[in-house]
Chains A and B, each alone.
Chain A
Amino acid sequence: MINKKCFAVLSIGILVFILISSTFARSLPPPLVINITSSKTLNGIAGDYVTIEGTITNTGDKPLNDIVTYLSLVDNGTKLPVDLEDWSAEKGLHIGTIDAGQTLPLNWKIHFVKAGTYSLIIIAEAAGYDLPQTSGITQFNVNPKINLNPGQVLPVALGTPVFLIAIMFLLAHRRRVGNE
């Protein structure tokens, strides 16, 4: 009798433990490790096109499905997230499935639009998990582009109106002289 009761309690306990564990497990992020590998080469000048490179590794014992990774960028000056509309053509990468222990490369081509200091993280989501996994924060600088005379525009921008005004006065002078 006592053995049957014990067995029942134990079974229920194990069942509850499994249920709680699986729920708890679902509230955890997926077992992924994300690294930004190009952190040292990210600094640049506004207007540059750079490639953000990274890796994503499945550290769990089962394959993970429907993996989606994306960038998150914050402007350290304004403390506001950056709208990646102009920075990158591809905002999200759909990886698909990563087998247990497998590592896959990640890369995004982005366009440095505005000068400033930025914090970058890569975020990954997997099917069946409510929380995402993130990489560490990488900071980089975008220096301003200063170019007062790109493509020799200044001589044209100043010179053409001045030239036309000179012709105007020349025509007026010729007309005046011709009529005297």
Chain B
Amino acid sequence: MFKYIWKKELQGELYTWKSMLWLVIASLLFSFTSYLLLTDRELSLLDQTELMLLLSQIIIVVALLIITIDASSIITAEFENATAETIFLAPLSIKDFLLGKFLASLTLWVLLFIVSLPYIIVASSGSHLTMAFIGYTALLGTLGIVGLVAFIFAVSLLLRSTKNTLTTSLITVLVLATPALFSTTLKNNALSQLFSQIDPIDNMFSSLDNVLVDYQTSLLQNWRFILPLVMFCALMFVFLVFAARKFNEEGVIKND
């Protein structure tokens, strides 16, 4: 059943130009960034590995923002456009509904990643780190997006409003992303260090730094960054299960 929801969402994204516009916007941002990094007189003097790190961070941040905006409406639009009732009148479980929508959001991430590939290849050419760059951006980005989408879907089921879900999700992403951009000198106190260890975005950036700048490319060498991401995903799935159960109890129509 979930594959029909998935297919419907993908068709909707394509036929309404939603996902295509996002991909074009992302590619313009990547084009601007990579051109600036590689041709600006001062930026182009950075080590290639630092260029690659900067580009990978921009790819991840752009993807997180686009997926946040897209995923915040993928469920709530069903309530706001009054299509939720007809969907749930069909013999469709909440599990299939969520899985279909989830795969649609992940598909957008996959497309964003594919769009970023030419830029990754160009920026890393000659560095012997191209495969590591591609592999770790894919792995870390996927883990981050999976956890983020689970969180957004849970919020969607609880709030049932695109505006409220989007606000909550964007604030959450900002809260997680901002400390990740601080330099190590600003993370000297115990609280900042603790937050750094659990912050999924900080762990994504730290792992990319570890791979691209310090040449620590094996999974074992990055396990201390990947594990918090896996735990983040698991926690968000627990939150999603809780939200789905609450949704089932309340029913499709919450207030008449």
Indicate if A touches B (C-beta under 8 A).
yes
Q: Mark B29-48, 1 if CB is under 8 A from A, else 0.
A: 01110110011011011000
Docked-complex contact A161 and B24, CB < 8 angstroms: yes
Instruction: Name which residue of chain B comes closest to A154, CB basis.
Output: B35
Q: Does A80 contact B (CB under 8 A)?
A: no
Number of A-B contacts (CB under 8 A): 75
- Which one, B17, B21, B24, B38, contacts A150 given CB within 8 A? B38
Q: Interface size of A by Cβ–Cβ distance < 8 Å?
A: 29
Min Cβ gap A149→B in Å is 8
Docked-complex contact B125 and A160, CB < 8 angstroms: no
Docked-complex contact A164 and B45, CB < 8 angstroms: no
A152 to B35: give the CA distance in the assembly, Å: 10
Q: Which chain A residues in 74-102 approach chain B with CB under 8 Å?
A: none
A46-B17 contact given A156-B118, A161-B24, CB 8 Å threshold = no
Segment with Cβ contacts to B, from A12-20, A21-29, A111-119: A111-119
- Which one, A115, A151, A168, contacts B123 given CB within 8 A? A151
A157 to B21: give the CA distance in the assembly, Å: 17
A153-B15 contact given A164-B20, A167-B20, CB 8 Å threshold = no
**B119 surroundings in chain A (CB, below 8 A):** 156-157, 160
Segment with Cβ contacts to B, from A32-40, A59-67, A120-128, A140-148: A140-148
Docked-complex contact A47 and B34, CB < 8 angstroms: no
Q: Mark A166-177, 1 if CB is under 8 A from B, else 0.
A: 011001100100
**B30 surroundings in chain A (CB, below 8 A):** 157, 160
Q: Does B238 contact A (CB under 8 A)?
A: no
Docked-complex contact A168 and B31, CB < 8 angstroms: no
Q: Does B155 contact A (CB under 8 A)?
A: no
Docked-complex contact B28 and A161, CB < 8 angstroms: yes
**16 A-B pairs (CB sep. < 8 Å):** A113-B45, A145-B44, A151-B123, A153-B123, A154-B35, A156-B31, A156-B34, A156-B122, A160-B118, A161-B24, A161-B27, A161-B28, A161-B31, A168-B20, A171-B14, A171-B17
**Which 10 A-B pairs have CB atoms at the shortest separation, nearest pair first?**
A157-B31, A168-B20, A156-B118, A161-B27, A160-B27, A157-B35, A153-B38, A150-B38, A47-B45, A164-B24
Interfacial residues, chain B to chain A (CB-CB below 8 A): 14-15, 17, 20-21, 23-24, 27-28, 30-32, 34-35, 38-39, 41-42, 44-45, 115, 118-119, 122-123, 125-126
